[in-house]
């Protein structure tokens, strides 16, 4: 049990409100957020309502899902920096979906340290999966993809496209889309999405 002083001090950061704002901006439910973080929807609900203050490891799990740093939750508005650098060694690699089979790609957030981002930037490495196993997904906004190397097959709204290293594509990400590597050579791309 926290003392009144500690509880008031933690409440001033508005962690629950910040979490709810991030979750709603991504149109994500508590159950879906729970699947991504490994935390229960009940626990996340308590955090959002200010009835429970998360530990730093728990808060970091939540922050990683949204591609923000811990400072998003604990820095005051006056201390937020408009310049954020992410070192290569700081990035973490994630599969397109947790625990899934036939993963089409792995990604690393390139801008997780930025607070209140207006876009999301990723480095992605694609796998050679059969076209029928490349799961389509969609999300609000638009997406820009630049193929760094290799050959990438995209399916956007039922249409197939083939991109080589140096090619790029821009599309509305509300359309179902999927990616898969073509051939045996490594394939990677920079992906930018704007909600």
Residue 13's closest CA among 65, 61, 66, 80? 80
Tell me the chain's radius of gyration from C-alpha atoms.
Answer: 19
Q: What domains appear along the chain, each with residue ranges and CATH number?
A: 4-79 (1.10.260.40), 88-194 (2.60.120.10)
pLDDT at position 155 is: 94
10-residue averages of pLDDT along the chain (195 residues): 80 87 87 91 92 90 87 68 81 81 87 79 91 84 96 95 97 94 95 91
3-state SS class at 119 = coil
Count how many Cα atoms sit within 13 Å of the Cα of residue 183 in the half-sphere of its side chain. 12
Global pTM value: 0.60
Q: Cα–Cα distance between 110 and 88 in angstroms, integer?
A: 8
pLDDT reported for residue 81: 57
Q: Which residues neighbour 68 within 8 Å (Cβ) at sequence distance 6 or greater?
A: 22, 112, 114, 115, 117
């Amino acid at each position: 049990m926290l003392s009144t002083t500690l509880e008031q001090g933690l409440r001033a950061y508005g962690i629950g409100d910040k979490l709810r704002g991030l979750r709603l901006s991504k149109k994500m439910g508590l159950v879906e957020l729970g699947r991504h973080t490994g935390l229960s929807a009940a626990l996340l609900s308590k955090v959002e309502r200010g009835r429970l203050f998360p530990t730093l490891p728990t808060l970091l799990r939540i922050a990683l899902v949204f591609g923000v740093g811990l400072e998003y939750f604990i820095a005051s508005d006056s201390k937020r920096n408009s310049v954020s650098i992410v070192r290569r060694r700081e990035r973490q690699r994630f599969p397109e979906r947790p625990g899934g089979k036939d993963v089409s790609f792995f990604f690393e957030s390139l801008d997780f340290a930025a607070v209140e981002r207006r876009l999301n930037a990723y480095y992605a490495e694609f796998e050679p999966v059969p076209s029928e196993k490349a799961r389509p997904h969609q999300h609000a906004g638009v997406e820009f993809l630049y193929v760094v190397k290799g050959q990438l097959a995209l399916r956007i709204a039922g249409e197939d496209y083939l991109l080589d290293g140096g090619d790029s594509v821009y599309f509305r990400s509300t359309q179902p889309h999927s990616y898969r590597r073509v051939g045996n050579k490594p394939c990677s791309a920079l992906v930018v999405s704007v909600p």
